[in-house]
Structure 1
Amino acid sequence: MLAYAIRRILMLVPVFLAVSVIIFLILHLLPGDPIDNLLKVGAPVEQRTEMMARYGLDRPLPVQYAIWLGKLLTGDLGTAIVARRPVADLIGQALPHSLALGGLALLFSSVVGILLGFVAALNRDRFLDRAIMGGVLLGSTLPSFWLGLLLILAFSVQLGWFPVSGARSWSSLVLPVLTIGLGGTALVARITRVSMIDVASRDFVMLLHAKGLSPLRIQLRHVLRHALIPVVTILALRIGWILGGAVTVEVVFARPGLGTLLIKALNQHDYPVVQASLLMLAMAVMLGTLFGDLLQAAMDPRVRGALA
């Protein structure tokens, strides 16, 4: 198990380097640069040349990348060109808001999704099963930004139950968490249902019925426990995707998170901030995948046996 964990961690190194190259090249090949947001209209060419040299933007792209990567490996995320503040400070202010939103959304989708999938599996091919699966399928197809606007219109504007935007209280988290969590709920519910139906058809479940155990006890203590292995793996993989999906939701609800910081920096072409923000989101996906693989190996004896 330890050897497998080390191999999986080492596999992240080339992925990290490839992602960093892609992020760097995409930003620098797009038209425009942060100097446009610093200079006044009609500024002389000499002033632009001086500022390009000050921020190292006049150097060849390979040199710029090498400098950025070298600082990154030492923990230096650089300084925002437009905001003129350390990028680490900006990330440190925004990240807790994104983590709180993503963590609560993951918890919501886990609990509600497993519960709906469990009820649907118990009522397989009945009206309740079809109603639950139809409802979660509808919820998963709604774009998050559109769902967020609908929730704002219904619960903030019309009913006045929750704040329209901001992050001044915990009540402001309710609508964003629902917006992000509903899509994950559909995925978890479907996987839970399919996994429970598969486990319920195995021989050991028939043996438990033959021993006279109650059907509900069998479903709760045996079938659900085995069915949660793929569900937990999927939830671990969704850690990074939830943080990435929070970008548009944070903009809709005007939350001061990583998504809002990223969109603002993109509009300003602030390279250090955009690069750091995108790298944080990519690292969340990679670490979530790693955590999911390690968790599956720890929970499933068959995987551990294949690794031995």
Structure 2
Amino acid sequence: MIGYAVRRLLMLVPVFLAVSVVIFLILHLIPGDPIDNLIRIGSSPAQREIIAQRYGLDRSLPEQYFIWLGNVLRGDLGTAIVGQRPVSTMILQALPYSLALGGAALLFSASLGILLGVIAAWKRDGWADQLIMGGVLLGSTMPTFWLGLLMILLFSVHLGWFPVSGARNWQSLVLPVLTIGLAGTALVARVTRVAMIEAQQRDFVMLLHAKGLPRWRIHLGHVLRHALTAVVTILALRIGWILGGAVTVEVVFARPGLGTLLIKALNQHDYPVVQASLLMLAMAVMLGTLLGDLIQAALDPRVRTAMS
């Protein structure tokens, strides 16, 4: 198992390098310049050149990339050009809000998704199954930003139950969690239902029925436990995607998280902040994928054998 984990970790190295190149090039090829936010209207080209030299923007793109990558590998994310603050400090201040939102959304989608999947598999092809799967299909196709606006309109504007924006208390976390969690609930419910239906067709289930065990005990004590292998893997893969999906939701609900920091830095073309934020999101997806593979390998020896 340790050898498999090391091999999977080493496979992330070229992925990380490729992602860093894409992030750097896309950002620098977008029209605009952070210097525009620093100079005054009517400044001379000489003043612009001085600022460009100060932040290394006068160098070639390959040279800028390798300097930035070398600093990142040493743990130095640079200094914000516009904000004039260490980027690592800005990330550390914003990250707890995004982690709290992503963690709560993951817990919500896992709990509700598994519950709905169990009910759908128990009532297979019945009205409850059709109702749940219909709602799941609707939830999975609904854009998160649109769902967030509907949540604000209904629960904040009309009913006044929750605040419209901010992150002052736990109540301000409810609507963003529901907005992100409902999409994840749909995926978890579908995977749980399919995995349980497949598990019900295994020989050990027929043996348990032959022994006279109650159907509910077989369904919850044995079939669900067998199906959780696929569910846990999906949940691990969702870690990075939920953190990435929080970007849009944080902007909709005006939460001071990584998404708000990223959008603000994009508007200012603040290269170090945008690069660090995007790199953090990409690493969350990569680490979530790694965790999902490790969990699947731990639960299924065939995966380890295939990689050996």
TM-score band, normalised by shorter chain = over 0.9
Structure 2 matches for 1:80-95, cutoff 5 A? 80-95=80-95
How far the C-alpha of 1:41 sits from its partner, in A, is 1.3
State, as a whole percentage, how many aligned pairs show the same letter.
Answer: 77
Per-residue CA deviations over 1:167-197 (Å, capped at 9, x if unaligned) read 0001100000000000000000001001100
Structure 2 matches for 1:93-112, cutoff 5 A? 93-112=93-112
Return the alpha-carbon distance in structure 1 between the equivalents of residues 116 and 195 of structure 2.
13
Assess, with a 3 A threshold, how the Cα gap between structure 1 residues 15 and 305 changes in structure 2: closer, same or farther.
closer
Equivalent AA in structure 1 for residue 25 of structure 2: L
Q: Is the 8 A contact 2:33 2:269 kept in 1?
A: yes
How far the C-alpha of 1:304 sits from its partner, in A, is 4.0
SS in 2 for 1:84: coil
How far the C-alpha of 1:141 sits from its partner, in A, is 1.0
Equivalent AA in structure 2 for residue 98 of structure 1: S
Return the alpha-carbon distance in structure 2 between the equivalents of residues 92 and 165 of structure 1.
21
The aligned counterpart of 1:286 is: 286
How far the C-alpha of 1:299 sits from its partner, in A, is 1.4
SS in 1 for 2:14: helix
Per-residue CA deviations over 1:208-250 (Å, capped at 9, x if unaligned) read 0000111000011110001011111111001000011111100
The aligned counterpart of 2:268 is: 268
Return the alpha-carbon distance in structure 1 between the equivalents of residues 83 and 118 of structure 2.
50
Write out the 4+ residue segments of structure 1 that deviate beyond 3 Å after TM superposition: 304-308
How far the C-alpha of 1:42 sits from its partner, in A, is 1.2
The aligned counterpart of 1:135 is: 135
Equivalent AA in structure 2 for residue 77 of structure 1: L
The aligned counterpart of 1:188 is: 188
How far the C-alpha of 1:31 sits from its partner, in A, is 1.0
Structure 2 matches for 1:183-262, cutoff 5 A? 183-262=183-262
Return the alpha-carbon distance in structure 2 between the equivalents of residues 81 and 305 of structure 1.
49
SS in 2 for 1:161: coil
Q: Give the root-mean-square deviation of aligned CA atoms.
A: 0.9
Q: Is the 8 A contact 2:4 2:304 kept in 1?
A: no
Q: Is the 8 A contact 2:79 2:272 kept in 1?
A: yes
Number of positions where the alignment pairs a residue of Structure 1 with one of Structure 2: 308
Return the alpha-carbon distance in structure 1 between the equivalents of residues 22 and 63 of structure 2.
15
How far the C-alpha of 1:302 sits from its partner, in A, is 3.2
Per-residue CA deviations over 1:21-80 (Å, capped at 9, x if unaligned) read 110011111111100011111111111010000000000111111110111011000000
Equivalent AA in structure 1 for residue 49 of structure 2: T
How far the C-alpha of 1:300 sits from its partner, in A, is 1.9
Return the alpha-carbon distance in structure 2 between the equivalents of residues 274 and 102 of structure 1.
20
The aligned counterpart of 2:125 is: 125
Return the alpha-carbon distance in structure 1 between the equivalents of residues 232 and 66 of structure 2.
38
Equivalent AA in structure 2 for residue 190 of structure 1: R
Equivalent AA in structure 2 for residue 9 of structure 1: L
How far the C-alpha of 1:305 sits from its partner, in A, is 4.7
SS in 1 for 2:213: coil
Return the alpha-carbon distance in structure 1 between the equivalents of residues 176 and 29 of structure 2.
33
Q: Is the 8 A contact 2:136 2:186 kept in 1?
A: yes
Assess, with a 3 A threshold, how the Cα gap between structure 1 residues 188 and 305 changes in structure 2: closer, same or farther.
same
The aligned counterpart of 2:41 is: 41
Return the alpha-carbon distance in structure 2 between the equivalents of residues 140 and 279 of structure 1.
27
Equivalent AA in structure 2 for residue 276 of structure 1: A
Return the alpha-carbon distance in structure 1 between the equivalents of residues 41 and 244 of structure 2.
35
The aligned counterpart of 1:59 is: 59
Equivalent AA in structure 2 for residue 127 of structure 1: W
SS in 2 for 1:41: coil
* Consecutive unaligned residues in structure 1, runs of 5 or more: none
The aligned counterpart of 1:151 is: 151
Return the alpha-carbon distance in structure 1 between the equivalents of residues 31 and 209 of structure 2.
67
How far the C-alpha of 1:301 sits from its partner, in A, is 3.5
TM-score using structure 1 length: 0.99
Return the alpha-carbon distance in structure 2 between the equivalents of residues 50 and 216 of structure 1.
74
How far the C-alpha of 1:306 sits from its partner, in A, is 4.3
The aligned counterpart of 1:8 is: 8
Return the alpha-carbon distance in structure 1 between the equivalents of residues 38 and 50 of structure 2.
12
Structure 2 matches for 1:288-307, cutoff 5 A? 288-306=288-306
Return the alpha-carbon distance in structure 1 between the equivalents of residues 23 and 148 of structure 2.
28
TM-score using structure 2 length: 0.99
Equivalent AA in structure 2 for residue 235 of structure 1: L
Return the alpha-carbon distance in structure 2 between the equivalents of residues 161 and 33 of structure 1.
43
Return the alpha-carbon distance in structure 2 between the equivalents of residues 47 and 303 of structure 1.
59
Return the alpha-carbon distance in structure 1 between the equivalents of residues 83 and 302 of structure 2.
52
Return the alpha-carbon distance in structure 2 between the equivalents of residues 19 and 139 of structure 1.
30
